[in-house]
Amino acid sequence: MHTPPRWMRLVLILAGFYNLVWGSLVVAMPETMFRLGGLLRPDTPLNYPEVWQCVGMIVGVYGLGYLIAASDPLRHWPIVLVGFLGKLFGPIGVTRAALAGTLPWAAVWTNVFNDLIWLVPFGLILYAAYRVGCERGNEPVTEPLAQSMEKATTSTGSNLLALSMSGPTLVVFLRHFG
């Protein structure tokens, strides 16, 4: 069992709360970020604010995911990977649009706080999870199938190995909390 360094949990908690706050602000006041970024004049209403509010909702959901991943960053690395990819591709898209002249460079500043500052710590968490996965790859993770089937019993007390030997058997696996 690998205990992740404390900084990993702290980074994900900070990212989680940041995304929840930023997403909530965008949902509540969708035109604010456009005005701060110089994309919308004070006297101009925002067209289709619902689209930007949807972006805020997605960012907020990412925040919830980061808070969940903070409980065990090495185990919940897929959540960190999805966040990392978003934080990588977002700035690439904004920079491309700014270089093409379809988006003012003033709009890029939001990517600094929303994306770029999180890239390195998320990348380090992913690298650590990769290393732990490589170490676990050398350890036996499971017991032989027949032994597992012998241990697994039905509600009537029969084991899966005996049931499978007696004829076709349908097995349904259910996950539950607890």
Phi (first) and psi of residue 65, to 5 degrees: -60, -40
CA distance 57 to 138: 41
User: In this prediction, what percent of the chain has a pLDDT beyond 70?
Assistant: 94
CA distance 84 to 92: 13
And the tokens for 109?
A: 């500043």
Q: What is the mean pLDDT of the chain?
A: 89
And the tokens for 57?
A: 């909702």
Predicted pLDDT of residue 96: 95
pLDDT tens sequence across 105-143: 888 888 888 999 999 999 999 999 999 988 876 655 567
CA distance 105 to 37: 9
pLDDT tens sequence across 7-47: 999 999 999 999 999 999 999 999 888 887 778 888 888 88
Q: For the chain, what are the domain ranges? A: 6-137
CA distance 6 to 9: 5
